[in-house]
Structure 1
């Protein structure tokens, strides 16, 4: 039980620190005199570094059969590279390099934490969501409190609360228990076989029709709220409402998760995504946007939880962390890069309203495509069973 508490605390404080980075790092860059183009490049470096580093750290976890030590290593690297990053803005190219190194250590911790959570939940026969919800609670609480905190100490001292939370995360990581799912040794050649797993890889690309819309909204929700008459306070409340609803979905997963197949839930969540984006585009009202944030749990929470569970079942046990971190790099890294770059172009050339119409279209196409995928693989499985009999 103490190890479960430490794991929940790890997730809580890690996502608390991520709130500060996600919400206020661009403002910190601006305060330090960086231009919008420089800030844009720096923000693109994060998802790029995540996309590269997450599968690597997942492979190292599987190779050395330890999630705990890899998480501790990544957090230690994030603390030291973060201290350098926050003081490197006057050094040109070194600044870009330090941001890249920082995200190579920082970004994978979320996926590694979720992977360890999945293994722990399976070992203890409890719900993944009942543990993972504490990450959402940490993000939600800090999304509301960080604005007041930074207004008090000043945005130039953003690194103080960030480092405080990260050090506590490291302390909690050193106290969690490792969970070994397979003793089978693996090599790089084994890990590369995942790329030949058509069922797994095809699913990663299909869900990007939905995940890109999610990450695009992450990037431009604040801008959209200000554009339609909201204030900075609306941004904090939007994140708070959204992530609290996400935590509720994770917390109640025990009651709904086994009712239908996980792909049925991903299709349902994708349809809700489409409705959410469509309404946001049709009725540009900040209060309505806040109300729609209550759907964040039924969209992201349900979609992520079920997709994560599904891919875990499609990959060999000895390569679980590698596969889960590859999924993480698609869901957040690659989707984030595409969403930020394309979303910015659409807003600049057309409008934010039309961007949300496009997101709605992409989500419904994603729902249909996941449905086709489900039918195809279920039919193939039944055919295999008939042939075997």
Structure 2
């Protein structure tokens, strides 16, 4: 609800476009920085579920400041505070889910698909509420969702996280964070998601300029998420045959093809066909990146690893959006061609790094 509709909510609150951009821009920068810091704090305390509860409650409490009858400063504190405290929740949830997979053999992808399904449902509900008279209900729904997140986290069983009794110095030495090769890898993993920045920022605008009806645009977005869910449904079986590097390579090829052909899709069937590639370009990239980090980062520091991945994606996504915006002003097709090149670069880099990756994961 927050990503698609909160800019609309802020507009109904009386903020102009510049103020909305300023608040969300500062919040995005703060979120990028907060994710690895707060995730690392959770890893150091060893209280992953309790951390999710605390962060979720803090996010909800800060967002409630939105309802105070004050001006831009309080609204900014509410929104930026919410974005900061919400930042580590997904990385920590992924880290917990990976512990479950490690300890019980459960299928991470099948757990993750409910995030995609939830996004679809929340988008539909949020769309019905994002009007001037009911926009405040979007804020209430987000606050209630944060409370629910904390409650669900604490209802889950505690997970064993690898060799929890090992010496802390040895645990620190086992982390790849001080290794030179880890940071280029983190950059490449973020590159796959960053190749979607032109679409996230300008895909709807591009289709509107082609006179695609708003309802059809909604269906096109939904097609991508359904393809993503379909991949998550079968990814567990696929992972038994293919290692995470293959998932990344498949994602890179799909993304390169998707963005290269995007400007040429001038009919709804063609657009929908390209949208099905989202299952690979996003879904396979996400599964591959998460699985690689799960194998090379010790369980004790899994939250930090996932938080660093979120930061890598966030930084590169911000850069991609800025460049795409400038290119879109010159030629609307150019941002998508650039994203095709970005995906191709990520694919080539993965090919080069695959032997090293397999050694580290082995």
TM over 0.5: yes
1:294 lines up with 2:287 in the alignment: no
Query: Aligned equivalents of 2:20 and 2:255: distance in 1?
Result: 29
Residue 344 (structure 2) pairs with residue 364 (structure 1)? yes
> Aligned residue pairs: how many?
359
Out of 150, 160, 173, the residue aligned to residue 180 of structure 1 is 160
Give 1:150 shift.
3.7
Deviates more, 1:191-200 or 1:109-118: 191-200
Alignment match, 1:272: 254
Q: Which of 260, 263, 283 is the aligned partner of 2:245?
A: 263
* Aligned equivalent of 1:23: 4
1:155/1:253 CA distance change after superposition, 3 Å: same
Alpha-carbon distance change, 246 to 341 in structure 1, aligned in 2, over 3 angstroms: same
- Give the 3-state SS of the residue equivalent to 1:198 in structure 2: coil
Q: Distance in 1 between matches of 2:299 and 2:77?
A: 35
Deviations 1:131-152 (A, max 9, x none): 1111111112222343234459
- The alpha-carbon distance between structure 1 residues 318 and 158, as it changes in their structure 2 partners (threshold 3 A), is closer
1:248 alignment counterpart: 230
1:61 pairs with 2:35? no
Mapped partners of 2:182, 2:156: distance in 1: 30
Deviation at 1:224, TM superposition (A): 2.2
Assess, with a 3 A threshold, how the Cα gap between structure 1 residues 318 and 264 changes in structure 2: closer, same or farther.
Answer: same
Q: 1:310 to 1:368 in 2, by over 3 A?
A: same
Determine helix, strand or coil for the equivalent of 2:155: coil
1:226 to 208, 211, 220: 208
Q: Within 1, Cα distance between the matches of 2:267 and 2:52?
A: 42
| Alignment match of 1:209 (pick from 177, 185, 191) | 191
The Cα shift of 1:85 comes to 3.5
Distance change in 2, residues 1:339/1:251 (3 Å): same
RMSD: 2.7
CA distance in 2 between counterparts of 1:93 and 1:282 reads: 45
For structure 2, the 5+ residue unaligned runs are none
Query: Which stretch has the larger CA shift, 207-216 or 190-199?
Result: 190-199
Cα distance, 1:25–1:177 mapped onto 2, change above 3 Å: same
Question: Cα 1:231–1:25, aligned 2, differ >3 Å: closer, same or farther?
Answer: farther
* 1:192-228 deviations in Å (ceiling 9; x for gaps): 9654222321111123332211234223222222222
Q: 1:235 to 1:62 in 2, by over 3 A?
A: same
Between stretches 47-56 and 270-279, larger displacement belongs to 47-56
Per-residue deviation at 1:95?
Answer: 3.5
More displaced, 371-380 or 61-70? 371-380
Relative to 1, partners in 2 of residues 1:109 and 1:213: Cα closer, same or farther, differing over 3 Å? same
* Cα deviation digits, residues 290-315 of structure 1 (max 9, x gap): 33222211221111011111122122
In the alignment, is the contact (CA less than 8 A) between 1:206 and 1:370 conserved in 2?
yes
After superposition, the C-alpha distances for 1:86-120 in whole angstroms (9 at most, x for unaligned) are: 557x5234433332221111122111111111111
Is 2:108 the counterpart of 1:111?
no
Closer, same or farther: CA 191–335 of 1 in aligned 2, 3 Å: farther
Measure the CA separation in 1 of the matches of 2:260 and 2:192: 14
The answer to whether residue 145 in structure 2 is matched with residue 165 in structure 1 is yes
Aligned position for 1:325: 307
CA contact (8 A) 2:64 2:78 kept: no
The alignment status of 1:133 with 2:103, answered yes or no, reads no
Contact kept, 8 Å, 2:129 with 2:135, in 1: the verdict is no
Contact 2:24 2:80 (C-alpha < 8 Å) held by counterparts: no
Q: Which digits, 9 at most, give the CA deviation of each residue in 1:266-308, with x for residues without a partner? A: 0111110111111112234455333322221122111101111
1:72 aligns to 2:56 (yes or no):
no
Which runs of no fewer than 5 residues in structure 1 stay unpaired?
A: 1-19, 383-389
Q: 1:131 to 1:344 in 2, by over 3 A?
A: same
Residue 181 of structure 2 aligns to a residue whose secondary structure is helix
Residue number in structure 2 paired with 1:95: 75
Q: CA deviation at 1:45?
A: 2.7
